[in-house]
């Protein structure tokens, strides 16, 4: 059964097996991603925030747990999506909670900032209260417990005339290092929960070489 994993008071993460995952994908191919994907729940001062949420198939009890959390807070729900591939259960939950789904700066809940990555096709969210970065596909958990850039094949859907290489992507992500990052709550792989800026700096410097 899917469970909310507490990270800090007011911040949780949960993982769900993605229904489109298939075993045996060619390494570094567009289909090469971990079976389970991560989602984030954040209690912002003026909203309950869900980032890239996915409800587990056949687990109505999990939706009921979210219902109780939302009802207990009594605040509007905001559903944020980092990248178009992560719309997941967005529309279902938006109907359920009459939630706002815009990631426009003027409509973000208090305590949430958006950090666009030029030409990367995604937005990264920053939660200053927790010093937590929430990326979409451009950063992933690495097998050693750190971070890595996405496979270059994952950039293949972007327009050819403006598609960045991995080195260019790393350079465009370098402004993120101006943030006092403690945690990186990735969607794919294990999150980084301490020393996030240092871990991110290593992978971005490697990506630029």
Q: Nearest-CA neighbor of 10 among 124, 100, 129?
A: 129
The structure's pTM equals: 0.94
Q: In this predicted structure, what is the pLDDT of residue 61?
A: 84
Structural domain including 92 reads 5-207
Is the pLDDT confidence value at 74 over 60? yes
Q: What is the mean pLDDT of residues 153-178?
A: 92
Helix boundaries (H) for the chain: 60-73, 90-97, 166-173, 196-207
**Number of domains observed in the structure of the chain:** 1
CATH number of domain containing 37: 3.60.15.10
By C-alpha distance, which of 48, 112, 104, 40 is closest to 76? 48
Q: What angle do CA 148, 151, 155 make, to 5 degrees?
A: 120
47: which DSSP letter?
Answer: E
pLDDT given at position 106 = 82
- Structure-block tokens of residue 142: 């690495």
């Amino acid at each position: 059964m899917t469970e909310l994993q507490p990270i800090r008071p007011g911040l949780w993460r949960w993982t769900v097996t993605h229904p489109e995952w298939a075993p045996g994908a060619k390494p570094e191919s567009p289909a090469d991603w971990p079976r389970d994907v991560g989602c984030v729940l954040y209690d912002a001062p003026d909203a309950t925030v869900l980032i890239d949420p996915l409800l587990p198939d056949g687990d109505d009890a999990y939706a009921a747990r979210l219902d109780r959390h939302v009802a207990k807070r009594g605040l509007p729900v905001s559903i944020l999506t980092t990248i178009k591939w992560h719309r997941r259960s967005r529309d279902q939950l938006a109907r359920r909670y009459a939630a706002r789904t815009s990631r426009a700066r003027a409509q973000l809940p208090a305590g949430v900032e958006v950090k666009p990555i030029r030409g990367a096709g995604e937005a990264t969210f920053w939660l200053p209260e927790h010093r937590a970065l929430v990326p979409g596909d451009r950063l992933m958990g690495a097998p050693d417990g750190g971070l890595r850039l996405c496979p270059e094949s994952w950039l293949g859907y972007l327009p050819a005339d403006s598609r960045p290489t991995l080195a260019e992507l790393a350079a465009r992500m370098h402004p993120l290092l101006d943030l006092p990052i403690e945690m990186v709550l990735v969607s794919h792989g294990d999150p980084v929960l301490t020393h996030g800026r240092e871990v991110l700096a290593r992978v971005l410097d490697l990506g630029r070489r």
